[in-house]
Amino acid sequence: MSQEYVFGWHAVEAILKREPERLQQVWIQSGRQDRRVRVITDALDGLGVRWQVVHRRELDDRVAGVHQGVVAAVSESREWSEGDLAALIEGLDRPPFLLVLDGVTDPHNLGACLRTADAAGVHAVIVPKDKSASLTPVARKVACGAAETVPLVRVTNLARCLRGLQELGVWLVGTAGEATTSLYQADLKGPLALVMGAEGKGMRRLTREHCDLLVTIPMHGHVDSLNVSVATGVCLYEAVRQRLG
C-alpha cells in the first residue's frame, strides 16, 4: 500500500477525526505527557493503530519541517479529478463557491490557501497538474487539517476546466493588478469561482482570457501586491461577506 507522511497536531488530529481508516502508524516525541497526547493515543488504541514514542531525532529524520512532536504514516489520499468536480457541483444545494489557484508552486501558500478556503466554506480548490504545488507534508501541516476537508481537484487542462465551469453556470472572477474594477464593486453572491494567480507572475494568459470579470484589490501603501495566500483570504472573505448578506 502506498504511503505518505502527515505531521503536526492539527493535521494528524484531522486525519484521526475524518479519515481514521487511512492511519497506518503514529510516532510521538518522547517527553510529552499532556492531555492532547492522551486523547490521541487512546483513540489510536481504540482503532487498533500502532503508535510509538520515539526520540525527536527519529521524527526529524522522517520528515522535513516543524513536526511539533507527532508524525503519522497514512495511506495516500484520494485525488479528485475534473469529473468529480462536475458531480460535486451538481450535488450541491447552494450556489457553488470555488477557488482556482493558477500556478501556485509554494506548498506553504497552497496550505495557507486551503486553510482559508475551509474557513470560508469553499466547496473545492482547483489547481492545474503542472506548475502547481502538490499536497506535500508541508502543505498539509500549514493547512492545519483543511487538506482533509476541502477537495483539491487537480486538472490536466485548466482552461478546459474553466470552460466547463462556465457551462455549469459558474461566474469566473479573476484577480489582476491592472484590472479597473475593484474587488468591492464585484457581485460575488452567485455561483462563483475566484481565480488567483501565481506568486509574482499572476494568472497565465489563457486563464485570464477565460475569466468573466477581472478585479483588483485596492492597494494604498508602497507595496504593489500581496502574497497569494493573503490576497486569497481578502477575496474569499469579501465573497463570504456578500453571500452572508
Q: Where are the chain's structural domains?
A: 3-75, 82-244
Class of domain 3-75: alpha beta
Mean pLDDT score of the chain: 91
Quick check: 19 pLDDT over 90?
Answer: no
Residue 213 and residue 193 in contact, taking contact as beta carbons nearer than 8 Å: no
User: Which residue(s) pair with 213 in the sheet?
Assistant: 173
Q: 78: pLDDT confidence band, cut at 50, 70 and 90?
A: confident
CA distance linking residue 54 with residue 31, whole number of Å: 9
| Tens-place pLDDT, residues 109-134 | 999 999 999 999 999 999 999 889 98
Whether residue 1 is predicted with pLDDT greater than 60 in this model: the reply is: no
Taking the C-alpha atoms of residue 67 and residue 52, their distance in angstroms, rounded to an integer, is 15
Helix/strand/coil percent split, the chain, to 5: 40, 25, 35
CA distance 68 to 59: 9
Q: Which pLDDT score, from 0 to 100, does residue 46 have?
A: 95
The model's confidence at residue 80, banded by pLDDT at 50, 70 and 90, is confident
For the annotated binding site, the residues are 197, 217, 226
pLDDT band per the 50, 70, 90 thresholds, residue 147: confident
Higher-confidence residue: 54 or 64? 54
Residue 148 near residue 18, CB atoms below 8 Å: yes
* Whole-number Å distance between alpha carbons of 7 and 128: 25
Q: Each residue of 206-225: pLDDT tens digit?
A: 999 999 999 999 988 888 77
pLDDT of residue 20: 92
Residue labelled with grid coordinates 493535521:
11
| pTM, 2 dp | 0.83
Q: Give the model's confidence band at 192: pLDDT under 50 very low, under 70 low, under 90 confident, else very high.
A: very high
Q: Which CATH entry fits the domain spanning 82-244: 2.30.42.10, 3.40.1280.10, 1.10.10.10, 3.50.50.60? A: 3.40.1280.10
Do 3-75 and 82-244 share a fold?
Answer: no
Q: Where is the binding site for S-adenosyl-L-methionine, in residues?
A: 197, 217, 226
